[in-house]
Amino acid sequence: MATLTKYPTEPLKCWNKAKELRLKYYKDYAECKQRGGIRWSGGAWAMDAIPAGLGDDVYTLTSEPYAASVAFDPKLNAECQSAADAKGWSRDLCSYMRTYWGSMYVNKYAFGGEFPKPDFAFQTQICCSHHKWYQHVAEYKQIPYFTIDVSVGLYKDVDEGRIAYVVNQMQESIPWLEKVTGRKFDDEKFIAAVNNECRTTSLWAEVCTLNKAVPAPLEEKTMYALYVLATLSKHSKEFGDFYEELRDEVKDRIARGIAAVSTERCRLITDTQPPWSYLSMYRYMEKYGAVSVGSLYTFALEGVFADQPDGSWGPRPTPEQLGIKIRTREEALRIYADWNLSKPEWQHFYDPQIKTDIMLRMVKEFKLNGVILHLNRGCEGLSKGIMENRLGLVKAGVPVMTYEGNMGDEKEMDYPRTLSRIDSFMESLGFNKLEN
């Protein structure tokens, strides 16, 4: 019989700070109008450094993390989902979008009070649902709407024409923003925001890369509470500072051999957004000593990665780290477009093979035993090509488990059967449940 190593573990020191920052973000959005501020809503992939050029009192509500927050309150979420049903929206549409619309219809904000009306909608479009989302918000709330189409193909194939299309649209957005807000656009602030966004998203990638360590200093359920900051506001200096603090703490945990899960013996990754009402699934996996050390989703929804000099996968160096000083709006827009187009989580929209390759790389570099794919009925964007990813992983000899669920609609999940599927998967990997 193998003896089980028990690693030391301890809670994350900066955990509470992450929670506070998140709550403050939602509160600021609700209250900023009293202080004369501007607020807008858009997706978690919106180019949020651009409206930052309008001033320091500009606040955002990013819709996917907001809907995920609603999903944590099953009663409110059910109310929102029914409200979307009542308006005739199909059940299989993006469940975040349905929840967000529902929250708007029932006029309830998950963080208290009425649903705060945004001054304008500012969106990007890579998934078919993105533009429909705010097209409807704009028509329902009678607010101006601008969207930038960033679906120009694989980053490796991006050329002058493709980047120009994205840059041109961003250029066009600036006079539009000035017009709808009556404010003057400040290039200095915009340039600073671009630098901050590169820093924040690169730092998050660095934190994720640290999870290659055995035992893993972080596990995915915890990471959900950390990565979310970048989905709220990528260009925030405050969030960047937090990630720096987090990185240092994680490095310290590795140096001291601190594990996220003391009984780690099986390392996994997942894929796509989790079913938010059933995160206890991750605790169930721990009964087998199985730890999800992350996912392409948690890592690269916002994290920006690149090949490292040693050939491994890690954070993309920021323009500042490369000694590039951004001087003009044009330079900033170009760098900003290029940075975002290189996002790993954007590549499978054009070719599933790229994502399979990244996952295989993760299997190797993060020393994984297997992969669990969430066939997420709530998100067509991140589910795109997922069966080809499965096929690619299986062909390469990686054990894969799939389960169907929905990130934002708990009706679509069969939880007991999912757990029994985990039992079968663990059994096939050769792991038994641990005695307490």
Partner 1 sequence: MAALEKFEHWYHNRHEYAREWKKRTGGKVIGTFCTYVPDEILTAAGMLHSRILGSHEPQDVTEPHIFGMFCPFCRDSLAQGLKGRFNYLDGIVLAHSCIHYRQTFDSWRAHIPTEFTYYLPMPNMVQSPSAKSYYVGEVAKFKAALEEYAGKKITDADLDRGIELTNKNRRLLHKIYEFRKTDPPKLTGTEALYIATTAQFVDYEEHNKALEEASEEVADRTVDRDPGIRLMAVGSENDDVEFFKMVESVGATVVIDEQCAGTRYFWNEARIQPDRLQTISDRYVERPPCPTKDYPERQRFPHVLQLAKDYKAQGAIIMQEKFCDPHEGDNPVLKKYLEDNGIPTLGLEFDSTNPLGPFRIRVEAFLETLRTDDLF
Partner 2 sequence: MITAGIDVGAKTIKVVLLDGGKILAKTSVLAGFETEQSVEEAYKEALAKAGIERSAVGKVGATGAGRKAVAFAQTVVTEVSADAQGAVFLHPSARTVIDVGAEEGRGIKTNADGKVVDFAVNEKCAAGAGAFTESMARALEVTLAQFGDISLKSNKSIPMNAQCTVFAESEVVSLIHSNTSKEDIARAVHDAIASRISAMVRRVGLEQDVILVGGVAYNIGFLDSIKRTLGIENVVVPQDPEYVGALGAAVVAGAAGN
Stretch that binds partner 2, among 26-34, 48-56, 145-153, 399-407 (CB under 8 A): 399-407
SS3 61: strand
Q: Is 162 in the site for partner 1 (CB under 8 A)?
A: yes
Least Cβ distance, residue 413 to partner 2 (angstroms):
8
* Integer Cα distance of 403 and 26 in angstroms: 32
Neighbour count for residue 1 (Cβ, 10 Å):
3
381 binds, among partner 1, partner 2, none (CB under 5 to 8 A by kind): partner 1
Q: Is 380 in the site for partner 2 (CB under 8 A)?
A: no
Q: For residue 392, what is the enclosing H or E element?
A: helix 386-395
Q: Is 87 in the site for partner 1 (CB under 8 A)?
A: yes
Q: Is 279 in the site for partner 2 (CB under 8 A)?
A: no
Q: Is 92 in the site for partner 1 (CB under 8 A)?
A: yes
Least Cβ distance, residue 394 to partner 2 (angstroms):
7
The two three-digit tokens of residue 77, written as one number: 């979420």
Residue 403 bridge partners (DSSP): 374
Helices 237-255 and 15-31 cross at an angle (nearest 10°) of: 170
Q: Is 353 in the site for partner 2 (CB under 8 A)?
A: no
* Closest C-alpha among 67, 61, 41 to residue 408: 67
CA-CA distances (angstroms) from residue 401 to 369, 405, 423?
11, 13, 11
What stretches of 235-374 show up as alpha helix (H) in DSSP? 237-255, 280-286, 296-300, 329-341, 352-365
Neighbour count for residue 113 (Cβ, 10 Å):
11
Stretch that binds partner 2, among 81-89, 108-116, 130-138, 422-430 (CB under 8 A): 422-430
Query: Which is closer to partner 1, CB of 98 or CB of 287?
Result: 98
Q: Is 218 in the site for partner 1 (CB under 8 A)?
A: no
The two three-digit tokens of residue 242, written as one number: 């937090």
Of residues 129 through 158, those in contact with partner 1 by CB under 8 A are 129, 131-136, 138-139, 145-149, 151-153
Stretch that binds partner 2, among 35-43, 124-132, 327-335, 418-426 (CB under 8 A): 418-426
148 binds, among partner 1, partner 2, none (CB under 5 to 8 A by kind): partner 1
List of residues contacting partner 2 (CB under 8 A)? 375, 387, 394, 399-400, 402, 404, 412-414, 417, 420-421, 423-424, 427-428
